[in-house]
Structures are given as structure tokens and as C-alpha cells.
């Protein structure tokens, strides 16, 4: 069960990091476009 918790934490951290860099690359975008971006990946 501890592995699941660590995996969840890791996923959240990765999403936050990706969002941060995405915000830096496109500073004037709307947040939902990040979700659209994820759909294409």
C-alpha cells in the first residue's frame, strides 16, 4: 500500500513540474488548455 501512496505523490509532483514549465513556455495561456495538451500526449 505504501508503494501506491509514493506513486501518487510522484505523479502529483510530476504534474506540478510539467504545469510549471508549461506556464513558463506559454505564459498567456488558459489553464484548461493544459488539460487539452495532456489529451494529445
pLDDT value for 25: 72
pLDDT value for 14: 92
Average pLDDT over every residue of 27-38 = 64
pLDDT value for 24: 73
**Closest by CA position to 15, among listed 40, 1, 34:** 34
**Portion of the chain with pLDDT greater than 90, in percent:** 32
Average pLDDT across the chain, whole number:
78
Three cell numbers written together for 28:
498567456
The domain total for the chain is 1
pLDDT value for 27: 62
pLDDT value for 7: 94
Amino acid at each position: 500500500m505504501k508503494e501506491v501512496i509514493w506513486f501518487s505523490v510522484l505523479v502529483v509532483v510530476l504534474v506540478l513540474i510539467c504545469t510549471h514549465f508549461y506556464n513558463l513556455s506559454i505564459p498567456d495561456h488558459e489553464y484548461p488548455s493544459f488539460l487539452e495538451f495532456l489529451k494529445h500526449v
